[in-house]
């Protein structure tokens, strides 16, 4: 066994990356340090490693440099890990998603929930207020409202006013943006620092309107400008598909031109109206995403997905990421009044976690579905042993 047998060396475009998979930890060395580390990896002692090193230093100087480098790395065995179900406890909710209605002013060709003007399923107001109250009691401060089109929900601005009456609460509205002008006067009466809008953009004009209908692109841009003029925080949400993938860098530029500071990318689901023909493999997304990130960095714009991953990668060494917070700190409630693990899973019968009318806390703590979600762990994945990036990336939800 080498002196650094617990560390793995990988390269990306010629750049070496050393990973400790189980801790987890990582570093990117300079050229000389990389040579020293490679010599250490293949040797059983510092003396042997120093003799192997092809540098110009004396044997003594090389050994001292290796000793210093070796001592800077943590070699203690990390604590055993038996999955997140054995490590975590239910403490409080942080966020709650409310899929208010399947009614929508559009009938988009990729909608997860096949929402349309003809759809009628809507969460009863009394039940919604009960769920918001119970979520607040469980510690929730971040409330997401989606659909369908949440701006079609009866007395929606009044609902937001109730949510934001508690100073610690924040509300995020996921909308197609086309009805904003009609309700803007009511929204301006709310705390703009705690009310956020996320507007859906599906590409440049042709791509967007192919999914959402004629005229929707210019109307969306007008709504973005309206939010900017009235000092509202807005995010552009992009459901990445085969038609709009190549337009991501141009959408970053478009966001900058309309005063939007960040984008959020959604990965395509094969449910509702979403189909395999719209799906893009992750390997095809990566180079375009990197190009979009470069464009965003040049314009002072952030991409939520990259910022989230950055937060994981640059957290304290030894921090393990394992799955999402669904079922632990986050829940979703559908227009049927039922609880689900996450917003993308609303309406799937097999993932129904119980009725809000029976109590939100009961579903959160006692649902067998959520118990199974919380037990699910990277330790169950087929490549658990082989994947050195597992605890840095954290896997899927």
Per-residue pLDDT tens listing for the chain (397 residues): 578 888 999 999 999 999 999 999 999 999 989 999 998 988 888 888 888 776 667 888 888 888 888 888 888 888 899 999 999 999 999 999 999 999 998 888 778 777 888 899 999 999 999 999 999 999 999 999 999 999 999 999 999 999 999 999 999 999 999 999 999 999 999 999 999 999 999 999 999 999 999 999 999 999 999 999 999 999 999 999 999 999 999 999 999 999 999 999 988 776 666 667 788 988 999 999 999 999 999 999 999 999 999 999 999 999 999 999 999 999 999 999 999 999 999 999 999 999 999 999 999 999 999 999 999 999 999 889 899 999 999 986 6
Cross-sheet strand order for the sheet of 25-27: 8-12, 15-20, 25-27
Domains of the chain by residue range: 8-72, 90-313
Stated pTM of the model: 0.92
Which of 312, 333, 302 has its CA nearest to residue 97?
333
334 backbone φψ class: left, alpha, beta (φ>0; ψ -120 to 50) = beta
Task: Tokens 């998979």: give the residue.
Answer: 21
Evaluate whether 341 touches 370 at the Cβ level (below 8 Å).
yes
Query: Residues near 3 by Cβ (< 8 Å), separated by ≥ 6?
Result: 40, 41, 43, 44, 45, 46, 49, 70
Q: Is 220 exposed, middle or buried (0-12, 13-18, 19+ CB in 10 A)?
A: buried
Q: What is the pLDDT of residue 168?
A: 96
Domain 90-313 carries which CATH code?
3.20.20.70
Nearest 5°: phi and psi at 196?
Answer: -125, 140
E strands, the chain, in order: 8-12, 15-20, 25-27, 95-101, 142-147, 170-175, 195-200, 233-239, 262-266, 302-303, 330-333, 339-340
Q: What is the pLDDT of residue 1?
A: 58
Which of 312, 355, 391 has its CA nearest to residue 127?
355
Torsion angle defined by CA atoms of residues 102, 112, 332 and 323, in that order, rounded to the nearest 10 degrees: 180
- If one counts every other C-beta atom within 10 angstroms of the C-beta of residue 23, the result is 19
What's the Cα-to-Cα distance from 232 to each of 9, 128, 156, rounded to whole Å?
Answer: 46, 25, 17
- If one counts every other C-beta atom within 10 angstroms of the C-beta of residue 395, the result is 19
Q: What is the pLDDT of residue 313?
A: 95
Q: What is the pLDDT of residue 273?
A: 64
Q: What is the pLDDT of residue 114?
A: 79
57 backbone φψ class: left, alpha, beta (φ>0; ψ -120 to 50) = beta
Q: What is the pLDDT of residue 397?
A: 60
| Tokens matching residue 347 | 């309406």
Give the Cα-Cα-Cα angle 358, 362, 365 (nearest 5 degrees).
Answer: 160
The whole-angstrom distance between residue 309's C-alpha and the CA centroid of its chain comes to 8
**282-299 helix and 248-257 helix, angle to the nearest 10 degrees:** 30
């Amino acid at each position: 066994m080498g002196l650094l047998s617990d560390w793995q060396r990988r390269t990306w475009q010629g750049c070496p990356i050393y990973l400790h998979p189980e801790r987890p930890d990582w570093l990117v060395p300079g050229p000389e340090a990389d040579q020293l580390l490679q010599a250490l990896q293949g040797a059983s002692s510092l003396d042997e490693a120093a003799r192997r090193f092809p540098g110009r230093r004396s044997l003594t100087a090389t050994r001292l440099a290796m000793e210093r480098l070796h001592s800077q790395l943590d070699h203690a065995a990390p604590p055993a890990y038996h999955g997140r179900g054995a490590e975590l406890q239910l403490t409080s909710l942080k966020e709650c998603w409310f899929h208010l209605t399947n009614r929508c002013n559009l009938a988009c060709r990729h909608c997860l929930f096949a929402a349309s003007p003809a759809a009628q399923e809507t969460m009863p107001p009394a039940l919604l207020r009960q769920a918001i109250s119970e979520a607040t009691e469980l510690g929730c401060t971040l409330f997401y409202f989606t659909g369908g089109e949440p701006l079609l929900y009866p007395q929606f601005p009044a609902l937001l006013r109730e949510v934001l009456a508690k100073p610690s609460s924040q509300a995020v509205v996921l909308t197609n943006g086309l009805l904003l002008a009609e309700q803007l006067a009511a929204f301006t009466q709310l705390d703009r620092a705690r009310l956020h809008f996320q507007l859906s953009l599906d590409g440049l004009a042709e791509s967007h309107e192919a999914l959402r209908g004629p005229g929707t692109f210019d109307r969306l841009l007008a709504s973005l400008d309206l939010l900017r003029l009235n000092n509202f925080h807005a995010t552009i949400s992009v459901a990445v598909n085969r038609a709009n993938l190549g337009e991501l860098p141009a959408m970053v530029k478009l966001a900058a031109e309309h005063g939007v500071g960040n984008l959020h990318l959604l990965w395509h689901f094969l449910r509702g109206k979403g189909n395999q023909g719209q799906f893009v493999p992750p390997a095809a997304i990566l180079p375009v995403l990197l190009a979009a990130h470069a464009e965003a960095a040049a314009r002072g714009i952030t991409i939520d997905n990259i910022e989230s991953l950055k937060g994981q990668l640059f957290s304290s060494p030894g921090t393990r990421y394992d799955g999402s917070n669904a079922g632990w700190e986050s829940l979703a409630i559908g227009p049927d009044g039922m609880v689900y693990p996450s917003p993308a899973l609303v309406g799937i019968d097999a993932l129904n976690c119980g009725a809000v009318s029976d109590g939100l806390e009961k579903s959160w703590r006692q649902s067998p579905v959520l118990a199974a979600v919380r037990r699910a762990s990277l330790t169950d994945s087929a490549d658990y042993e082989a994947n050195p990036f597992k605890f840095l990336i954290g896997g899927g939800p």
